[in-house]
Every structure is written in C-alpha cells, then in structure tokens.
Amino acid sequence: MHAEQRGYSLVEFMLAAVLGTLVATLAGYTYLGATRHFKRLQQITGLHDNGQLAMLSLLRHLRRAGYLGYYAGTGPVLGTAGKHSSGSRCIDGQPGQTLRLAVTGIDQDTPSRRCPAASAASYPYATGDLVTVRYARHRTGNGYAANRLYLRSTLTSARLFSGRRRKHESNRLKTRYPDLALQQHTFYLSHAQTTACSGTATVPVLIDRTMAPNGRLRHRVIADGIEQLQFQYGVLKKRDLRYRNASAVSDWNRVVSIRLWLLVRSECPDKTYHRRQTYRLGDYWYSVDDAYRRTLFSTTVFLPNRYQRVKRHDE
C-alpha cells in the first residue's frame, strides 16, 4: 500500500510567505543601507582627496616663491626683457613684469583689481581670494622655448630674456651658473561642468593659470569641489610678524609667510543629508544651508626664500 501523502496546509503556506517577505524586506533595507553608507564614504573620501590635492599643489608652489637661483636680488635686472622686472601685479601680466614680487594677492572684495585673466571665457573668476606666485627653476633638457622668459645671473646682477633672444648682446653675462626658467602661477576659483551628478551640473574648481612653453598664460583645473579660498599674508617688519589681508599689504617684498583656508564641497548633493553651518576662513564668514557635505582645510606656509631676503635687508 502507498503511504499517505498530503501537501502544505494553508496556515503553513501563509507562514512561509510572511517569513519570506520579512527576509526579502530585511535584505532590501540592508542593501539600501549599505549603498547609502558607501555613497557617504565615497563623498567623504572625495572631499579629503580633493582638499589634499589642492592644498599640496598650493604649498608646493608657495614654498618656492621668490627663488631666483644665485641672484641675490640687489643689483639691476637688465637684458632684452629687463624692463619687465618690475611693474603691475595684475594676474594677467606677463611673467617677468613683476619678477621682484615673489607673492602677490587680491582680495575677493576688490573686483576692480581682478584683472582680465580671471575673466577668461573657459574658466572665469567665481569667488574667493586670488594669489600669484613667481619663482625660477632649473630648465628641463637643453633647449630653450622661444617665447618663455629666462634668468641669467650672478650674485649681484641678472639678465632677463626670452628664449629666442638668449644670444643677444644685451643678454651676455659672464657667469658660471646655469640659466633658469621663470615660473608664474595664479590660483583662483571658477566653475566647471560635471557629469558626476544626475544630469549635467556645475562644480566649483581650483584653477592654476600658469605659463605655457610658448610664453603665454594657460589654465588648468587642479581640484574639484573647492568652494572657498582665503589668504592672509604675514608681513615681517623689525622682527614683528603680522598677518593681513591682501588689501592691507603695502610692501609685498616683506611677506614671509601665508595663512590659507580651503573649503571643500562634495560634487553632488546628498538627499539624505542637510546642514546649516557657518564656516570661518580667517576674518571671512561663509554660511551654507543645503545638502552638500563640506570639509575645511587650513594651514600656514613659511616662505624661506622671502624670509632670507628680508632678513638680509634688515641686517
């Protein structure tokens, strides 16, 4: 005889269905929670990566400010481009025009002094302070770019010239030191398009406007998400160091250190996050009330080349 067979009862079936639904719901919530947690970690990691990238780039150039090789900066700067050794500190100026000014800055509340470079069609000026850094560095390779500016010097005199005129009689100087290539970097904030969010949106970016090998100025994006940038300049007078905004600096040759603040914002808003906060960047207060995550970076950088020159001048 066949053993008696029977199926699941209605109660057993309903119990199994309820348990299955609970398991699926818990799995769904776990997945959603893990996804949100991953996105949150991704945003926080991106904030720190962008902030560190921007900060390291600024520090790398600021620490070199005022380096002119073996030239002590006391004698005349002659040569075919020597007339550009001093002049306007406008950020659109040619690199040699302010050779003696290692660092210059412009406050964000001084629109009349922002200069045409920050109005470039691709990356126009948006907000924050601007800073320009100048120094010389050793040439890469043996060649000279035709339109780039170079410095040939001794301890007491120098010749400034473009690559195409390096052999001109006015640029001759008996020296045992190699020629150096001049560098100028202007940092400011702009906006760029991003596809990281749903659809096309704009994100604040840090721009480095620098010299191209052809001697002209070009721009490049250093880091995304840099929403605010503020500087204060340490002016040393008779062993008294005081930090001032750019508009209050009367002698840029006495700037020996810089305080800087970077406010970094996530590229995309987080629907699960909202923050109302006021950030202090020096004497500037910045208030937000939205769904973006932010992190504030700050540091003080010492300018060794400028300090040594100021110290020698005061002795």
pLDDT at 207: 93
Please indicate, yes or no, if residue 24 is contained in any of the structural domains: yes
Q: Mean pLDDT score of the chain, rounded to an integer?
A: 81
Domain that holds residue 167: 11-314
Please indicate, yes or no, if residue 6 is contained in any of the structural domains: no
Please indicate, yes or no, if residue 179 is contained in any of the structural domains: yes
Query: What sections of the chain are H helices per DSSP?
Result: 10-62, 304-314
Please indicate, yes or no, if residue 3 is contained in any of the structural domains: no
Please indicate, yes or no, if residue 1 is contained in any of the structural domains: no
Please indicate, yes or no, if residue 127 is contained in any of the structural domains: yes
Tell me the C-alpha distance between 65 and 253, whole Å: 11
pLDDT digits (tens, 9 = 90+) for 12-70: 677 777 777 888 777 777 766 666 665 767 777 888 899 999 999 999 999 999 888 88
Please indicate, yes or no, if residue 138 is contained in any of the structural domains: yes
What average pLDDT values come out for the chain (315 residues) when binned by 10 residues?
62 75 77 66 80 94 88 75 54 52 84 52 84 86 82 86 88 88 89 72 89 77 94 91 92 92 90 90 93 93 85 71
Please indicate, yes or no, if residue 5 is contained in any of the structural domains: no
Total domains present in the chain: 1
SS3 48: helix
pLDDT at 87: 47
Tell me the C-alpha distance between 117 and 130, whole Å: 11
